[in-house]
Structure 1
Amino acid sequence: MKLSKKFTALALALTVGTSAFAIDGTEIMTKVFDRQKPDFSKAAVQLTLAKNGKVEETRNVGEYGRCKNNLSDVVMIFLSPASVKDTRFLQKENDGKDDDKWIYLPSLKSTRRVAASDGSKSFVGTDFSYDDMSTREVADDTHELIKESEDKGNFKDLYVVKSTPKDPKSSQYQYRISYITKDAWIPTYIELYDKKGKLMKVNEIKRIDKMPGANGRVYNVPMENVMTNVQTGHSSTIKMVNVELDKPLSDRYFTTDFLSSGK
């Protein structure tokens, strides 16, 4: 009888222990998608292009962000060098469908919508594609939890999730593998595999800072993000030089009129 009680107690302990840590890939990616974002953000950004570690060009960019009804909008204004100066980009997140994107090209003095068919194209000559700039809907992919704990890059004890498009035509990648922090729910390392199943690109966050917003909330902010095309040896590094959070911004920034005029 004593043995039976011990067995029952052990079985219960194991069950409780397992359920305390049980989470699946879809739950993890939902937490990533729903993590708290600032209502507004303003940042000075340094964008560096390099080939096999040798710097080719450094760009200075202004970035404005807004999160309204849990949907994020972002504007990027290229300030230098002259080859990209006054290029402006606007992305507006939609609920349940592809984001809307527009780009103003000063050489053409016109704003054009970025078509969904252009999603795999390079974003202003960087290693990020237009689709890389967006966050995919959780429901667009199947998500498999591969490991509950793995160290990668500058971060430890990460969830590892494999995400595969339900519709292969909806993504330029066959699948992606994300390494995700358990406290901030941020993918700090993402492996992107091409249609042949070969590793194509790696998107790595090098540093995350805790930053207070003007409203008193504290956010986890990725401060350095490197996208590397492992097939070509080319990389694009985004560094946040100065960040302001939750200081209200005019709605005017997030319009195509602002793209065209810059004011």
Structure 2
Amino acid sequence: MIKKKTAITALIFAVTINLFALDGREIMQKAEDSVKVDSTHALVQMSLTDKNNKESVRILEMFEAKDKNGLSQSLIIFHKPASVAGTRFLVQEQKGRSDDKFIYLPSLKRVRRIAASEGGQSFMGSDFSYDDMSTRDIDEDTHTLLREEKYNGQDCYVVQSIPKNLKEAQYQLRISWVRKDNFMPVRVELYETKDRLKKVLTIEKLEKIDGVWTPIITKMENITDKHSTTLTMQKVEYNKKLPDALFTQKFLETGRL
């Protein structure tokens, strides 16, 4: 009788676990929702390292907030070195189409729109592309939970994401390691084709700041070019009121509110 009860209990437990199991899309939605803030303002060090381990360092400032429709808008301003100082980059999320991207280069003294066809190009010589700096809607991809495993000692979901429209996608396949405890993606493999790895994004240091899980050190490694870019948060603050005028082409051109 005891054995029968144990077997029934195990069956009920197994069915319950299955009922509440997350699928790939739900995991990626939770990952997207894991950071709930009104705005972000950060000072960041960008380190570029080539195949000979030669490093060049840039200092930039990042702003992000939601517009009145709840869509994301972000601004990056380069401060150092002098060769890139004054460069400004604006991304405005759009519903149902590609985000609008604009860049101001001091040498040209004008704002230039980044065309959709340029999305795969390098952003300011880094290992991040213009599209990497933009948003991607959850339902642009089909997400499949591949397995569950540990990564750097943390229990993770491993999710495969394949674009529904392969012709318009920069990557043909992405595999993400998403921590179970906070739903932060801590490793993302980006494939040029389904069997050719192009880049690997890793969160090398993660801290909770003002109740928000924050990537302190993020590394993007280009496997093909043997080049990497590391972003290190030097200062970050959340939920501070940011002027709407920051996220405009006028500010992009003038640098003045």
Partner of 1:131 in structure 2?
131
* Pairing 1:86–2:86 present: yes
**Displacement of 1:95:** 2.8
SS in 1 for 2:193: coil
Partner of 1:206 in structure 2?
204
Structure 1 residues 257 and 161: CA distance shift in structure 2, 3 A: same
Matches within 5 A, 1:181-200: 181-195=179-193, 197-200=195-198
| Residue identity opposite 1:197 in structure 2 | D
Separation in 2 of the partners of 1:228 and 1:131?
16
Separation in 1 of the partners of 2:222 and 2:9?
52
Partner of 1:54 in structure 2?
53
**Displacement of 1:5:** 5.2
**Displacement of 1:196:** 6.0
Matches within 5 A, 1:30-109: 30-52=29-51, 54-68=53-67, 69-109=69-109
**Unmatched 5+ stretches in structure 2:** none
**Displacement of 1:4:** 5.7
**Displacement of 1:187:** 1.1
TM-score by length of 2: 0.93
| Residue identity opposite 1:149 in structure 2 | E
Q: Is the 8 A contact 1:164 1:175 kept in 2?
A: yes
**Deviations along 1:191-234, whole A, 9 cap, x unmatched?**
0111362111001111111111xxxxx21111111111011110
**Displacement of 1:6:** 5.1
**Displacement of 1:28:** 0.7
Structure 1 residues 17 and 104: CA distance shift in structure 2, 3 A: same
**Displacement of 1:101:** 0.8
| Residue identity opposite 1:145 in structure 2 | L
* Pairing 1:249–2:242 present: yes
Structure 1 residues 188 and 5: CA distance shift in structure 2, 3 A: closer
**Deviations along 1:133-170, whole A, 9 cap, x unmatched?**
1231111111110112331xx45111100101111112
**Superposition RMSD on alpha carbons, in Å?**
1.8
Separation in 2 of the partners of 1:96 and 1:193?
24
| Residue identity opposite 1:261 in structure 2 | T
Structure 1 residues 155 and 84: CA distance shift in structure 2, 3 A: farther
Q: 2:253 aligns with which of 229, 241, 260?
A: 260
SS in 1 for 2:97: coil
Q: Is the 8 A contact 2:173 2:194 kept in 1?
A: no
Matches within 5 A, 1:127-206: 127-151=127-151, 154=152, 156-195=154-193, 197-206=195-204
Separation in 2 of the partners of 1:258 and 1:85?
15
**Deviations along 1:10-45, whole A, 9 cap, x unmatched?**
32122123334x111011111122233321221111
Structure 1 residues 239 and 2: CA distance shift in structure 2, 3 A: closer
SS in 2 for 1:27: helix
Q: Is the 8 A contact 1:52 1:233 kept in 2?
A: yes
TM-score by length of 1: 0.91
